[in-house]
Chain A
Amino acid sequence: MPELMLDDPDGTLVMLRDSVTGFAARFPGAKAMRERRGRGGTMDPLIWSAMAEAGWIGLLLPEECGGAGLGLREQAVLSEALGRALIAEPTGTASVFAATLLGGASPGAERSRLAAGVASGEMVAVPAWTSGAKPVVARSVNGSIALSGETRFVDAARAATDFLVVAQDADGVMLLSVAADADGVTISERVGVDGSALATISFSDCAVPADRVLSRANRSEELLRQAILHTRLALAAELTGLASKALELTIAYTSDRVQFGKPIGSFQAIQHRLVDMWIEAEFAAAAVVNAVDSLQADDVDTAELAVLAAKARAGEAAFSICRRAVHLHGAMGYTDECDIGLYLKRAINLNAMLGQPEQLRLEFVERESGYRRGRT
């Protein structure tokens, strides 16, 4: 089935793939997803710390911070493999996004503390950057910082030890860490389609010590941009992996399922549909590889276009492949017991994160050509 094709001179990528396969045997993805749903969306600390132990959570963090010091090629392959195995942990945010922010934050005790904690799995630092009804604003008060406002769509909020909060201050954007149990922090959760929990976090005059600042204006905007870029790439890879696996499961199902005296996969109507799904997965994989290569070889603007294209392509492919996969499973696909529905739900979640395909495509065209979308 389609997968990322990347040069692998020293075998690192093969090793990563193998280690995910081994991990999935210990922690089967579908089972973990169902259990997490049963727990009301809270992430399983056992799984997360095992992922940290494998070196995955701090994969992008520099070695001097306790990370693996690997790059986006490795991240893409890891995320793809996690997607295939349906290991539906908040890797995109609590690992890739967080590691990118921390990796680029101002050197200092706070950065070292968090980076080491995140890499080892002892801490869970969850980024909180999407503005809610009232954006998060930081004011200086007697040498400390007071935060007020609201941020939305925060993953794994109940498991977090710290939030990496993006706040507006007088100079622009500031990045700082806030202890999850600090006074003035309120977490309210909603159920995600894939059984995860998505939180809105409100800060009301939450006092944060000044030494928790991770970066100030100018630098923070750049960091955020980078974190979004890396996370979109990781999500695109994860979506590609899960799409490819959903296709594989559907080929297996339609090859086994006999109706009218033959496997339903022998009917041309079904074969053509599966072929179209394969083409979509193939293109998604190609788009992700293009983005990985571009991030290494090209200037930032070019690479950003490639990442927009990859996230749009992979998100659309995963959503469309999974929808059709459910249909091709017949009534079985419409049950909660059949895993294929979990792939669909996971695809919806990741596809809607950091931009749905249309939004990303419009952004691509605007950036490339300078055309802005007219509003009536």
Chain B
Amino acid sequence: MASDWNDIPDEEFRSIFRTWVDQNCPSHLRYMRKQRPLFNEVAVWYHALAAKGWLAPTWPRQYGGMGLSAAKHMIYVEEWGRLGCPRIPDHGIGLVGPLLIEYGSEEQKAHYLPRILSGEHVWCQGYSEPNAGSDLASLQTSAVLDGDEFVVNGQKIWTTLAHCANWIFVLVRTERDAKVRQKGITVLLLDLTSPGVRVRPIANLRGEADFCEVFFDNVRVPLKNLVGKINEGWTVAKSVLGHERIFLGAPTRPEYALERLRRLADARGAFEDPAFMSRFARLRLDLYDLGSAFERYAKVLRAGGELGAGVSALKIFTTELYQRITEEMLTVAGEEARLADDLAAGDVEIDAMNLFLDSRSPAIFGGSNEIQRNILAKAVLRLPG
């Protein structure tokens, strides 16, 4: 095994990674209909990656990660998508790990990181609240210090996979009177099995319960579960995404959807229709050019640079393209667009309605597209206001 993955040429790394994943990711887990499988449903794959040492691509090797550079990490993510591997509950790997590695104490790293890798701790992200969505800084869930424990009260919502997680990293308000609302926010690691925690799954438009409400009623959290400094959690919370912001704009979803559209259209003879053909051509080139735009930002990362605010353009474009493709699927489906079920297309089933409904959400989460446009207006165009 290489001492440093980053010393291997990109294409060689791609091939090593791809070969192993293709051999080891169970076929029944490929191209899962569920966007958000529960931990138990994909545990074999999770543990297989962990055993191989490939579960945490960006963590430094000393913590059991692969220590991949941004460039190699992109290859990892690309191949993962191309092989149709399922999404694993990845809040621990993708968010909590980097959070602790940057801001956590040595004791916290030693305690939590191995438990993420072993799957003992499954994490979820408690940021949003009923009255704090786009305006996250208005969050109200409170934590009051009582001796060497915080007492947490309040509510989180839209917490993805909280019903299969046993830990949550939460943003809480530790100071009410701060002049700037972003001050007075703190990050806590909270054991979901503590007394006073209640989790209620919420069914989404597709009838699946991917996200939940989480209620805290006098939940006691040890002081040592504080990450970084008290009242300074906003910076911590905002920084965890780092270079991974580029993946919000990855072409994965539209790529998959366009392939499904192609199969459906093929089976329905739609390519004989010049009107469809010209709409398909537009979608195809939008996807193609999204690849070029993605590459523009990927290059910056590969050169060791930092992503600017402009990367929001990718998120907007990819999520809206995903929607347009799935809307076209419903057009091609004709009267069958009335059905909730998957549609037969030759020897495969196309989950047109499932994808259409799913495509509603990425434009909302991860900073809604309006918020992304606001960011671009301010930070890139430098418009007044």
User: Interface residues, chain A, CB within 8 Å of chain B?
Assistant: 130, 152-153, 190-193, 195, 198, 258-261, 264, 267, 269-270, 323, 326-327, 330-331, 333-337, 341, 344, 348-349, 351-353, 356, 358-359, 362, 373-376
Contact = CB atoms under 8 A, between A and B. Distances in A.
A331 B203 CA distance: 11
B239 to A, nearest CB: 22
Contacts, number: 109
Contacts of B330: 348, 352
B203 to A, nearest CB: 4
Given A259-B133, A327-B360, A358 B337 contact: no
Contacts of A348: 330, 337-338
A228 B41 CA distance: 48
B134 interface: yes
Interface stretch (B21-29, B219-227, B271-279): B271-279
Contacts of B364: 327, 330-331, 333-334
19 contacts: A190-B341, A258-B131, A259-B133, A260-B138, A261-B135, A261-B138, A327-B364, A330-B133, A331-B361, A331-B364, A334-B205, A336-B207, A337-B202, A337-B203, A349-B338, A352-B334, A352-B336, A358-B331, A375-B274
B341 A373 contact: no
Interface stretch (B164-172, B303-311, B365-373): B365-373
B158 interface: yes
Given A330-B133, A330-B368, A331-B128, 10 more contacts: A153-B335, A190-B340, A192-B339, A260-B135, A326-B205, A336-B204, A352-B337, A373-B273, A373-B275, A374-B274
A193 B338 contact: yes
Interface in B285-334: 323, 327, 330-331, 333-334
Given A260-B134, A269-B370, A334-B364, A353 B207 contact: no
B275 A198 contact: no
A259 to B, nearest CB: 4
Contacts of A190: 339-341
Interface of B is mostly: mixed
Interface string B132-147: 1111001000000000
A376 B275 CA distance: 10
B353 interface: yes
A130 B203 CA distance: 34
B365 A336 contact: no
B363 interface: yes
Nearest to B131: A258
A356 B205 contact: no
B365 A331 contact: yes
B120 to A, nearest CB: 29
B135 A259 contact: yes
Nearest to B273: A375
Nearest to B274: A376
A174 B128 CA distance: 60
A335 B331 contact: no
B337 A335 contact: no
B360 A352 contact: no
Contacts of B203: 335-337
Contacts of A327: 360, 363-364
Interface in B202-248: 202-205, 207, 211
Contacts of B272: 375-376
B202 A335 contact: yes
A352 B338 CA distance: 6
Contact of B335 (A261, A331, A344, A352): A352
A341 B374 CA distance: 26
Nearest to A336: B203
Contacts of A191: 339-341
Contact of B360 (A153, A193, A326): A326
A334 B335 CA distance: 24
B335 A336 contact: no
Contact of A353 (B131, B335, B361, B368): B335
Given A330-B368, A336-B205, A337-B202, A356 B275 contact: no
A295 to B, nearest CB: 24
A323 B360 contact: yes
B363 A356 contact: no
Contacts of B337: 193, 348, 351-352, 356
B78 to A, nearest CB: 27
Nearest to B132: A259
B332 to A, nearest CB: 10
Contacts of A333: 360, 364
A334 B340 contact: no
A331 B272 CA distance: 39
A71 B204 CA distance: 41
A130 B133 contact: no
A261 B174 CA distance: 20
Ranked 4 nearest A-B pairs via Cβ: A352-B337, A259-B135, A336-B203, A191-B340
Given A198-B338, A269-B370, A352-B330, A334 B360 contact: yes
B315 to A, nearest CB: 14
A264 B336 CA distance: 36
A242 B368 CA distance: 26
Nearest to B203: A336
Interface in B335-381: 335-341, 353, 360-361, 363-365, 368, 370, 373-374
Contacts of B202: 335-337
B133 A331 contact: yes
Contacts of A323: 323, 327, 360
A331 B159 CA distance: 11
Nearest to B369: A327
B157 to A, nearest CB: 8
A261 B361 CA distance: 24
Nearest to A374: B274
A41 to B, nearest CB: 10
A336 B207 CA distance: 7
Given A269-B373, A352-B330, A358 B339 contact: no
A118 B18 CA distance: 63
Nearest to B209: A336
A102 to B, nearest CB: 24
Contacts of B157: 331
A223 B276 CA distance: 32
Q: Which of B128, B333, B364, B368 has the most CB of A within 10 A?
A: B364
A193 B134 contact: no
